[in-house]
């Protein structure tokens, strides 16, 4: 019986696994150097966790299931609700700010397409307990710190920054009532992804008043904070939202990544829970989906039954990132090849016992070591050693029987030395 894999999932054979590990190890090390601590939650939660604030798109894409007691569960499509639940559970014990990161495996029942799979890994960083714009800037900086580390320059990627708070104030000023805001966010979030005609038609449907629709479109076309200050009727809320954004940009400048960053009012984000600065990082060419996105979500912890505590964060999936790195030649050139320290070979099958023993002793010393089960000729074993990218080959031959000496062959230089097994192992020490 032959059963295929489920469409939209990936098999990670050792070469793909090495790429995935390289990406995830980079995320982890950049998180740690930026002062974040790692957490994780369960792969599934109660279904209603995702029906609270995640927005319609996420809810439609849930993989839901039931436990044996008939309770409705869902595989996590994002980790932020879990984060909110976990922080709320220990809110009085956790020192603030809470700077946490995670690399959850997530599942969404989407139609598989380029850069979008039904199962993926997503780097998440969040700062909870700080309402100052510097925290938003630190989230954006950390995302860029990773992208810069893997070799993506300001000529490759752009962080596009806007503000839900600004957008909300502007929309209110243009006569959109409070109850209509979520639907407007969902629509405006699609602006950059849709052909202009399609977007205009959808906007006309949602905002029948042509003048009002035109003013919304005009705002979405502004391309600097200065222009907003010139064009938009400023009230205190808009002024405050602009000042927040300006502080974010100023901090990003201090942190040395201003060249990656622009203001872009079309950045809205699909998730319903954002309340302040929002951002996405895109490839400059603009042919891929967002590499990452995030923003401030000051009400989410309260919405999950906790206190009102400000928060800001970001998520970066592995699919789009991997496509971009591959396009730029930054993937296979940086993923380290498999490397084996020692390959233990024996000149003849009668010496296999010594081969097992020496391999086991090398491993106990903390060294990676392999051997061949085939017990073919020495040249075949050396070929297998090369195929496994072994640094050195230990050859067990007559010298071992005579005086317990090994031949140690450096696979790069071909140089051979002969040494007593105990001396060799004691010189290796333990790692």
Residues of the binding site: 78-80, 108, 122, 126, 269, 273-274
> Binding of a second copy at residue 304 (CB under 8 A)?
yes
Q: Which stretch binds a second copy (CB under 8 A): 15-23, 205-213, 273-281, 317-325?
A: 15-23
Q: Which stretch binds a second copy (CB under 8 A): 83-91, 187-195, 222-230, 284-292?
A: 83-91
Q: Which of residues 228-257 bind a second copy (CB under 8 A)?
A: 251, 254-257
> Binding of a second copy at residue 37 (CB under 8 A)?
yes
> Binding of a second copy at residue 42 (CB under 8 A)?
yes
> Binding of a second copy at residue 387 (CB under 8 A)?
yes
Strands 277-283 and 292-296 come out as antiparallel
Q: Which of residues 330-369 bind a second copy (CB under 8 A)?
A: 338, 340, 352-353, 356-357, 359-364, 366-369
Q: Quick one: tokens of 280?
A: 């996405």
Q: Quick one: tokens of 427?
A: 């010189």
**Omega before 97 cis (within 30°)?**
yes
> Binding of a second copy at residue 13 (CB under 8 A)?
yes
Collapse the DSSP code of 79 into the 3-class scheme (helix H, G, I; strand E, B; otherwise coil) and give the result: coil
Collapse the DSSP code of 302 into the 3-class scheme (helix H, G, I; strand E, B; otherwise coil) and give the result: helix
Picking from 139, 175, 173, the residue whose alpha carbon sits closest to that of residue 159 is 139
Give yes or no for a contact between 315 and 122, defined as CB atoms under 8 angstroms apart. Answer: yes
Cβ burial, residue 366 (10 Å; 0-12/13-18/19+): exposed
> Binding of a second copy at residue 308 (CB under 8 A)?
no
Q: Which residues carry a binding-site annotation for L-histidine? A: 78-80, 108, 122, 126, 269, 273-274
Q: How far is the CB of 273 from a second copy (least distance, A)?
A: 13
> Binding of a second copy at residue 380 (CB under 8 A)?
no
Q: How far is the CB of 244 from a second copy (least distance, A)?
A: 15
DSSP β-bridge partners for residue 405? 420
Q: Which of residues 99-138 bind a second copy (CB under 8 A)?
A: 99-100, 105, 107, 109, 118-119, 130, 132, 134-135, 137
Unique residue bearing structure tokens 């479109």: 217
Spatial distance between the Cα atoms of 380 and 374, rounded to a whole number of angstroms: 9
**Residue 39 or 237 having the CB closest to a second copy:** 39
> Binding of a second copy at residue 22 (CB under 8 A)?
no
Spatial distance between the Cα atoms of 395 and 409, rounded to a whole number of angstroms: 8
Question: What residues have CB less than 8 Å from 353, skipping those under 6 apart?
Answer: none
Q: Which of 48, 193, 326, 423 binds a second copy (CB under 8 A)?
A: 48
Spatial distance between the Cα atoms of 28 and 128, rounded to a whole number of angstroms: 19
Q: How far is the CB of 183 from a second copy (least distance, A)?
A: 22
Q: Which stretch binds a second copy (CB under 8 A): 44-52, 163-171, 216-224, 400-408?
A: 44-52
């Amino acid at each position: 019986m032959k059963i295929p894999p489920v469409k939209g999932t990936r098999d990670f054979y050792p070469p793909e696994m090495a790429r995935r590990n390289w990406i995830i190890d980079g995320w982890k090390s950049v998180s740690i150097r930026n002062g974040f601590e790692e957490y994780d939650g369960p792969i599934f939660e109660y279904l209603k966790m995702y029906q609270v604030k995640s927005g319609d798109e996420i809810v439609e894409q849930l993989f839901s299931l039931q436990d044996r007691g008939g309770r409705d569960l869902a595989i996590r499509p994002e980790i932020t609700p879990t984060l909110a639940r976990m922080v709320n559970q220990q809110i009085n014990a956790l020192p603030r700010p809470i700077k946490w990161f995670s690399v959850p495996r997530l599942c969404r029942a989407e139609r598989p397409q380029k850069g979008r799979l039904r199962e993926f890994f997503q780097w998440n960083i969040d700062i909870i307990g700080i309402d100052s714009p510097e925290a938003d800037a630190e989230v954006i900086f950390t995302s860029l710190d990773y992208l810069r580390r893997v070799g993506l320059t300001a000529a490759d990627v752009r962080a596009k920054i806007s503000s839900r708070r600004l957008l909300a104030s502007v929309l209110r000023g243009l006569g959109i009532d409070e109850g209509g805001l979520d639907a407007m966010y969902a629509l405006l979030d699609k602006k950059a992804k849709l052909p202009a005609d399609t977007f205009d038609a959808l906007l006309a449907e949602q905002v029948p008043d042509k003048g009002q629709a035109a003013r919304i479109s005009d705002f979405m076309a502004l391309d600097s904070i200065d222009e907003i200050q010139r064009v938009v009727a400023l009230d205190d809320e808009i002024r405050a939202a602009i000042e927040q954004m300006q502080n974010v940009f100023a901090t990003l400048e201090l942190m040395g990544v201003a060249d990656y960053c622009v203001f872009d009012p079309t950045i809205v984000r699909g998730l319903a829970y954002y309340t302040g600065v929002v951002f996405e990082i895109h490839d400059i060419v603009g042919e891929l989906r967002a590499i990452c996105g995030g923003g401030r979500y000051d009400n989410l912890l309260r919405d999950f039954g906790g206190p009102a505590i400000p928060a800001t964060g970001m998520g970066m999936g592995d699919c789009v990132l991997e496509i971009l790195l591959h396009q730029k030649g930054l993937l296979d050139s940086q993923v380290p090849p498999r490397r084996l320290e020692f390959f233990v070979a024996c000149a003849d099958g009668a010496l296999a016992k010594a081969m097992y023993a020496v391999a086991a002793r090398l491993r106990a010393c903390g060294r990676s070591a392999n051997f061949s089960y085939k017990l073919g000729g020495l040249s075949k074993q050396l070929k297998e050693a090369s195929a496994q990218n072994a640094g050195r080959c230990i050859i067990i031959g007559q010298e071992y029987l005579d005086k317990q000496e090994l031949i140690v062959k450096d696979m790069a230089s071909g140089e051979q030395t002969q040494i007593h097994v105990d001396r060799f192992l004691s010189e290796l020490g333990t790692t």
